[in-house]
């Protein structure tokens, strides 16, 4: 179980913008649960949230919290990361990453 958001603030946050054709939104939302199952046991991972843009159907923001950048980079190179992408629906429902932003905590 991930810690409560205010109990252990992460030092490193990654925000990924995702876009999918509106017809594939339901399949993508189903895949997010599988994605969480792949990453939640990885060392340094704290939590994942996915937000849908209410003004742009098929647009999402996926945010992950990590202990530090090293934990995130280790996960990105891991077999678990590749498997998690295998579960994301394929065409025409496959999501496209339209942006990636990384943030480091500077104050609490």
Domain boundaries, the chain: 12-104
Of 62, 69, 73, 72, which Cα lies nearest the Cα of 105?
69
Mean pLDDT of 32-60: 84
Q: Band the pLDDT of 89: cuts 50, 70, 90.
A: low
Mean pLDDT of 74-102: 67
Q: Of 6-15, 78-87, 92-101, which gets the smallest average pLDDT?
A: 92-101
pTM listed for this prediction: 0.69
Percent of the chain beyond pLDDT 90? 3
Count of C-beta atoms within a 10 Å radius of residue 46: 20
Fold of 12-104: Alpha-Beta Plaits (3.30.70)
Cβ 64 vs Cβ 47: under 8 Å: yes
pLDDT at 93: 53
Digit-coded pLDDT (tens) for 9-35: 668 888 888 888 877 788 777 777 777
Q: Band the pLDDT of 1: cuts 50, 70, 90.
A: very low
């Amino acid at each position: 179980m991930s810690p409560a958001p205010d109990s252990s603030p992460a030092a490193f946050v990654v925000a990924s913008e995702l876009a999918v054709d509106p017809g594939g939104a339901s399949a993508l939302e189903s895949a997010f649960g599988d994605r969480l199952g792949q990453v939640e046991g990885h060392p340094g991972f704290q939590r994942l949230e996915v937000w849908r843009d209410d003004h742009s159907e098929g647009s999402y923001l996926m945010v992950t919290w990590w202990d530090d950048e090293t934990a995130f980079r280790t996960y990105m190179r891991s077999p678990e990361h590749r498997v998690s992408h295998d579960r994301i629906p394929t065409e025409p429902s496959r999501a496209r990453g339209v942006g990636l932003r990384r943030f480091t905590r500077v104050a609490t």
